[in-house]
Amino acid sequence: MDCREVEESLSAYALDALSPDEALQVEGHLEGCPFCTALLREHTHVAASLAMVSGSVLPPESLKRATLRRVGKLSRRRPKLDSRGFTLGRVALAATSSLSVILIGALVGIGIVNLYLSNEIESLQENNATLVSQITYLKEMDGKLEDMFHEQRSVSYMMASAGSETVSLQGGEAQGVLLISSQGGAGLLMAKGLQPPRDERGYYVWLRKEGAQPFMVGRLTVDDTGWGALTLWPNQPIHVFHQVVVAEPESAPSQPVLWGSIASR
């Protein structure tokens, strides 16, 4: 094999893609040709770099077309002997081989950059999900703090109002109190010692009066310590009722866990 044939086979030889006979012919030529041996080292280095790249990266169509046109033009030129016995075609072929090595190296670099950018995007997506979760939690806490502030303000208003009434609530280990405004239009029920409810509905709060169906005025939520508070805004004055009861959702008002008697006026 001459230098031209060997140079055309170096890429396949570096990738171990030649038949055994072809590989022996290339190796026999390389033993006596330092020029082709130097080109082989470049092809071997590029082949090793390709093995380390994750995934494949395709070059732009415009780059491929330009490269093919350039190679086609070089291949159509007739070699001419210079004074040293080398041909211009051999120099052109060497330049083409070097250009191919540069292009392959560029593709390797693109693959590495794409892998880095992919990892960065994945990291940013994870950070964004964490921030969304934290913002949601802060909104929930803000709502709970607003409810607590409203309840404390209601307690302060009712305690400071002249003529407000306090009703003690009892029931097993649970205790509570119902603060009723002077006009009876609003009330604040607070309880402690209640068992955490078995579902998220909490406890139902009912107002009862003789000869009428119980009237539900709200749902009482309880924390892990058994404490809960609820502001009552019934459509009738609380004083027209004779009893307030707290019961589980699946239980009837006649089976309360907490109750108290309201003095009529």
**What pLDDT is recorded for position 261?**
93
The answer to whether the predicted template modeling score (pTM) of the entire model surpasses 0.75 is no
State the pLDDT at residue 102: 81
Range among 84-93, 142-151, 240-249 with highest mean pLDDT value: 240-249
Residues 190-199, mean pLDDT to the nearest whole number = 86
Q: What is the pLDDT of residue 136?
A: 83
pLDDT of residue 156: 63
Do residues 101 and 42 touch, judged by C-beta distance below 8 A? yes
Check whether 245 has a pLDDT greater than 70.
Answer: yes
Better pLDDT: 211 or 265: 211
For residues 35-60, average pLDDT: 67
* Cα–Cα distance for residue pair 249/219, rounded to 1 Å: 9
| pLDDT > 90 in the chain, percent | 19
The residue among 203 and 22 whose pLDDT is bigger is 203
pLDDT at 260 over 90: yes
Position 83 scores a pLDDT of 47
Average pLDDT, the chain: 78
Structure confidence at residue 210 as a pLDDT band (50, 70, 90): confident
Question: What integer pLDDT is reported at residue 131 of this predicted model?
Answer: 83
CA separation for the pair 125, 209 (Å, rounded):
58
pLDDT at 23: 83
166/189 Cα distance (integer angstroms) = 10
pLDDT at position 101 is 73
Pick 103 or 218 by higher pLDDT: 218
Among 35-49, 79-93, 151-165, 208-222, which is the least confidently predicted range? Answer: 79-93
Q: Cα-flanking dihedrals φ and ψ of residue 100, to 5°? A: -65, -40
Domains and CATH numbers, the chain: 3-118 (no CATH), 165-261 (2.60.40)
- Report the alpha-carbon distance of residue 265 to residue 222 in Å, rounded: 31
62 token code pair: 């415009």
pLDDT for 149 beyond 70 = no
Average pLDDT of the residues in 100-114: 79
The pLDDT, as a whole number, for residue 196 is: 82
Higher per-residue pLDDT: 131 or 85: 131
CA–CA separation, 99 and 71 (whole Å): 10
